[in-house]
Amino acid sequence: MSAFLTRLIGPRIPDEELRANRARYLTPTVIFMAARILLLVSIFFPYWHMELEAPQYPNGLFLTAYVNNLTEDVKEIDGLNHYIGMRPLGEAASFERAASVYLMIAMVLMVEVAAFVHSKWAVLLAIPVIGFPVGFLVDLYYWMRHFGLNLNPQAPLSSSVKPFVPTVLGEGGIGQFKTYAELGTGYWLAVVSGALIIVGFYFHRRAYRPLTLSATQNLKAAE
């Protein structure tokens, strides 16, 4: 293996060392595997919920967001939003929802590759998964803000409702409408996935850093 590849993907584990300390090297691999599974499973669970209370809907209206689609009372909520000049919910984050499953699969594959990289560069492959929950909230806030601050001035109730930023989490509302928003199971699975990766890199570093230092010393001696 060339010096460049050794520095990039890290040293391989000698057979004797692997037999003597199998648990040390297996631990980060197992943790990364669990993280990948949780991230994949999160696709099938809601990432965000919202309940809307309106006078004409005493039982409330509900909106559930998965990474790739919106479900429940989308049409009814769009109907109410139309009166204040807000665009249909389906127009928000259309690209993100269309690409989300492919993005999730790509992140899973990146974490899988990271398990086979025994150098510090493995962290770069896992950064998207670690940052994904934050990115989801930022994107959600962006679209909520964009829709709320860009109301149609020709809407029937445009004169009585000023542009506003809808509440992403917790209790909010505008006029007679009240909203309650919270994160869903899928989101928390993604959070746990990212946390497991951070823990996995602790064990990854503990296992492979001594081998990396030894390989670096050998390369310098050879040069």
pLDDT in tens, 168-182: 999 998 777 899 999
Quick one: pLDDT at residue 218?
55
The CATH architecture to which 3-214 belongs is Up-down Bundle (1.20)
Taking the chain, what is the end-to-end CA distance rounded to the nearest angstrom?
15
Distance from C-alpha of 12 to C-alpha of 101, rounded to nearest angstrom: 33
Rounded mean pLDDT of 12-32? 84
Residue 64: enclosing H or E segment and its boundaries? strand 57-65
Burial string for 91-123 (b: 16+ CB within 10 Å, else e) reads: ebbeebbeebeebbeebbebbeebbebbbeebb
Domain boundaries, the chain: 3-214
Cβ pair 24, 33 in contact under 8 A: no
Q: One-letter amino acid identity for 44?
A: F
pLDDT in tens, 129-168: 999 999 999 999 999 999 999 998 888 887 778 888 999 9
Rounded mean pLDDT of 107-134? 90
Adjacent-strand bridge partners of 14: none
Q: What is the DSSP letter of 86?
A: P
H-type alpha helices, the chain: 3-9, 15-20, 22-42, 74-84, 94-114, 122-149, 185-222
Confidence of residue 219 (pLDDT cuts 50, 70, 90): very low
The number of beta carbons lying within 10 Å of the beta carbon of residue 12 is: 14
The pTM (predicted TM-score) of the whole model is 0.87
**Structural Rg of the chain based on CA atoms:** 24
Rounded mean pLDDT of 173-196? 93
pLDDT at 190 over 60: yes
Cβ pair 26, 166 in contact under 8 A: no
Quick one: pLDDT at residue 14?
73
Tokens of 133: 């929950």
